[in-house]
């Protein structure tokens, strides 16, 4: 394959990290299977547990793969021990199976096992039913082969590490668009001749907080992916950019969420039907539109691009300064303006 072909493959793998994960999982499973073939004895009867361990342990990041490896091995061992204990009791098969599953399911909830806890009852059941004739040999083979396959997965992952930037970047861009759309919707509502009902405001409301937390979680995964990753320096610039973008969006979405509550609450004084309210609503709508444009047209830290939005918020401050404190919309409009200013500061 020529240089252009290799570059195209790298681009595809970058844009579709699941594909590379699938390739690494397949390679690790095949290697684990080949490596256990020379062994004889009882291990030779259950070689498929090695690729199973590789599949279970493979993850996008090296750290996750190591964590999944020891959790899977521990869960299988724990399930095997439960099975050995139950087999010592003089119980009929249905009662033994029920007791093993009961105890194993309780143990599966151990926080240390994480997502691999589900393997405790599975291992207990397999060891009790499939390995009943040679319980010690079966448990040793099961746990040992799963651990071996997991080790192969870790080694493959270390050789070809990934950094899950693409999912984080896509989620951040979606959040950026949602926050900008939310501001535009709020501005349209404020500028409308007829005041919107509570139901109409709810239709315009977007679940920004949950999405911002999702972006924050994905960025945490990117940071974790840098650990034990010999290729992390190659992506350092992009990781730093995504960190800045995510941090700004999370702070900004919190500010906009506060604005949504203030604008959408019919009890807020900004809803008053008087000249002061009308002028402030118009100014707030312009400021929201300017902040939305700032989000769409610039990157975090671009002070020059933020000047237009900052000026629009400043105009609202001037309107507030000319509005009597006892006027109806003063308090709510002040709170909204403060949050819009915080949003601009977060992006700048």
Residues 220 and 307 in one domain: yes
The last residue of one of the domains, among 159, 184, 211, is 159
Residues 153 and 188 in one domain: no
Q: What is the pLDDT of residue 151?
A: 93
Enter the tokens of residue 88: 């010592």
For residue 25, CA distances in Å to 76, 168, 203, 215, 221 come to: 20, 22, 43, 26, 19
Residues 142 and 176 in one domain: no
Q: What is the pLDDT of residue 169?
A: 81
Going by C-beta distance under 8 Å and a sequence separation of 6 or more, which residues neighbour residue 130?
138
Segment 306-329, tens digit of pLDDT: 888 889 999 988 888 887 665 455
Residue 127 belongs to what domain range?
3-159
Q: What is the pLDDT of residue 74?
A: 93
The last residue of one of the domains, among 159, 177, 204, is 159
Q: What is the DSSP string of 70-130?
A: HHHHHHHHHHHHHHHHHHTS---HHHHHHHHHHHHHHHTT-GGGGGGGGHHHHHHHHHHHT
CA angle 305-308-313, nearest 5°? Answer: 130
Residues 233 and 129 in one domain: no
Residues 152 and 261 in one domain: no
Residues 65 and 205 in one domain: no
The last residue of one of the domains, among 127, 159, 191, is 159
Residues 313 and 240 in one domain: yes
Rounded to two decimals, the pTM is: 0.66
Residues 151 and 175 in one domain: no
C-alpha closest to that of 50 among 58, 122, 293: 58
Judge contact between 333 and 245, C-beta under 8 A. no
Residues 60 and 206 in one domain: no
Look up the CATH number of the domain holding residue 213. Answer: 1.20.120
Report mean pLDDT in 10-residue bins for the chain, 348 residues. 54 66 93 89 83 91 88 93 92 92 94 92 90 84 92 91 78 86 84 68 68 80 73 73 80 80 66 74 88 86 81 88 63 82 84
Q: How many domains does the chain have?
A: 2
Judge contact between 286 and 187, C-beta under 8 A. yes
Judge contact between 168 and 219, C-beta under 8 A. yes
Terminal C-alpha separation, the chain = 45
Q: What is the pLDDT of residue 337?
A: 87
- The span from the CA of 73 to the CA of 76, in Å, is 5
For residue 253, how many other CB atoms are within 10 A of its CB?
25
C-alpha closest to that of 305 among 293, 315, 313, 316: 293
Residues 95 and 13 in one domain: yes
Q: What is the pLDDT of residue 236?
A: 74
Residues 256 and 341 in one domain: yes
Residues 150 and 191 in one domain: no
Judge contact between 142 and 126, C-beta under 8 A. yes
Segment 188-244, tens digit of pLDDT: 877 776 666 667 666 666 667 777 788 888 777 777 777 767 666 777 777 777 778
């Amino acid at each position: 394959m020529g240089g252009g072909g290799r570059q195209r493959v790298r681009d595809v793998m970058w844009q579709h990290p699941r594909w590379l994960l699938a390739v690494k999982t397949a390679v690790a499973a095949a290697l684990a299977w080949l490596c256990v073939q020379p062994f004889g004895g009882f291990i030779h009867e259950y070689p498929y547990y090695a690729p199973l361990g590789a599949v279970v342990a493979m993850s996008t990041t090296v750290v996750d793969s190591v964590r999944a490896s020891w959790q899977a091995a521990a869960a299988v061992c724990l399930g095997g021990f439960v099975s050995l204990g139950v087999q010592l009791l003089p119980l009929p098969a249905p009662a033994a199976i029920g007791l093993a599953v009961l105890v194993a399911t309780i143990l599966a909830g151990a926080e240390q096992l994480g997502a691999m806890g589900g393997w405790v009852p599975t291992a207990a059941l397999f060891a009790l039913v499939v390995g009943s004739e040679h319980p010690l040999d079966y448990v040793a083979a099961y746990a040992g082969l799963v651990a071996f396959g997991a080790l192969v997965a870790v080694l493959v992952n270390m050789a070809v590490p990934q950094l899950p930037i693409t999912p984080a970047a896509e989620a951040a861009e979606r959040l950026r668009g949602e926050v900008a759309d939310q501001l535009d919707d709020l501005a349209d509502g404020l500028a409308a001749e007829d005041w919107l009902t509570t139901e109409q405001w709810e239709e315009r409301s977007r679940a920004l907080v949950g999405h911002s937390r999702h972006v924050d979680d994905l960025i945490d995964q990117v940071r974790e992916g840098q650990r034990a990753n010999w290729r992390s320096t190659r992506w350092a610039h992009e990781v730093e950019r995504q960190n800045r973008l995510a941090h700004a969006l999370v702070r900004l979405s919190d500010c906009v969420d506060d604005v949504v509550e203030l604008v959408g609450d019919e009890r807020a004084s900004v809803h008053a039907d008087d000249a002061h309210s009308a002028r402030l609503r118009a100014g707030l709508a312009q400021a929201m539109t300017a902040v939305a444009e700032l989000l769409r047209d610039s990157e975090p830290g671009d002070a020059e691009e933020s000047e237009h939005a900052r000026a629009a918020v400043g105009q609202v401050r001037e309107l507030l300064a000319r509005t009597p404190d006892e006027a109806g919309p003063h308090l709510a409009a002040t709170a909204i303006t403060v949050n819009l200013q915080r949003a601009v500061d977060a992006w700048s």
